[in-house]
Amino acid sequence: MTSASDLASLAGLLADESRAAMCLALLDGRAWTAGELATHVGVAPSTATEHLHRLVKGGLLAERKQGRRRYVQLADPGAAQLVEDLAARLEPGPPTVTGLRAVTASAALRRGRTCYDHLAGRLGVAVTDAMTSRKMLDQDGGFALTPYGKQWLVSTLGVTLEGGRRPVARACLDWTERRHHLAGVAGARLCETFLARRWVTRIGTGRAVRLTPEGRDALRTHLGVDRLD
């Protein structure tokens, strides 16, 4: 049984703003070096290393070595879900204008981004809503793919829904849209397909993604989505 002290220790990992910022950055699903995270968060490399050591020891991050470089990433989909769910619990406050670049980056994240390994933002919610309206996804019956939805993913998009212990479909509360988008194996495979077919492309090195003209055509053809509100 989990003890109160264990729960407090886990919560303490995200009680520091720098560590929280690192975990939010790692929601892009990729592995970062300590130096990259130090620059992103704005702390000294030695400070970043201390924070990362705590996060790895606490089980939120995993470390791997490739050549002479060491990388960290979120430990597993459960860790990513924990961070995203906590972010979604926060009431959105008024945007803080800190310059054109920051405002532009924030708007891009709201339009479309990756949430660990699936699509989020208005793009992710639009895809989820379109699948629901076309009877591919049953949001009222436990947020599950319908037989037609599974057939569409496998036959039309050519994805596989094998994912070990992960649920095939899972509701993930979007922290900007305050509505659910599709996560789980199906969400991950959709995101992989969108990126591989260049229906979306990443904006810079962050989480934001941009819908390409080919992606707009694909959304219209496959899901009847003409525009993203």
Tokens representing 34 are 């300590």
C-alpha to C-alpha distance for 126 and 111, rounded to whole angstroms: 10
What pLDDT digit, counting tens, does each position of 41-77 carry? 999 999 999 999 999 999 999 998 888 888 999 998 8
Is 229 contained in some domain? no
Phi, psi of 35, deg, nearest 5? -65, -40
Q: Which pLDDT score, from 0 to 100, does residue 188 have?
A: 93
Per-residue pLDDT, 206? 76
Same domain, yes or no, for 108 and 208? Answer: yes
CA-based torsion, 74, 80, 86, 87: positive or negative: positive
CA-to-CA distance for 4 and 27, rounded, in angstroms? 27
Q: Single out the residue in 75, 110, 134 at which a domain terminates.
A: 75
Residue 86 falls inside a structural domain = no
Question: 102 and 65: one domain?
Answer: no
Residue 68 and residue 105 share a domain: no
- CA 178 to CA 175: how far, in whole Å? 6
Nearest residue to 122 via CA among 113, 137, 111: 111
Question: 175 in a domain, yes or no?
Answer: yes
In this structure, what CATH number is given to the domain that contains residue 28?
1.10.10.10
Please tell me the predicted confidence (pLDDT) of residue 37: 92
Q: Average pLDDT of the chain?
A: 87
Residue 84 inside a domain? The answer is: no
Question: How many domains does the structure of the chain reveal?
Answer: 2
What range defines the domain where residue 26 resides?
4-75
- Give 110-122 pLDDT, tens digit per residue: 889 998 889 999 9
Q: Which residues pair with 173 in a beta bridge?
A: 180
Q: Token pair for residue 19?
A: 């560590």
Specify whether 56 is located in the same domain as 102: no
* Alpha-carbon gap, residue 160 to 137, rounded angstroms: 16
E strand segments, the chain: 32-33, 61-66, 69-74, 113-115, 118-120, 137-138, 144-145, 170-173, 180-183, 200-202, 209-211
pTM over 0.75: no
Q: Same domain for 114 and 219?
A: yes
Asked if residue 32 is part of any domain, the answer here is: yes
Q: 191 and 104, same structural domain?
A: yes
Domain assignment of residue 116, yes or no: yes
Residues 31 and 103 in one domain: no
Mean pLDDT to the nearest integer, 192-211: 90
Same domain, 32 and 112: no
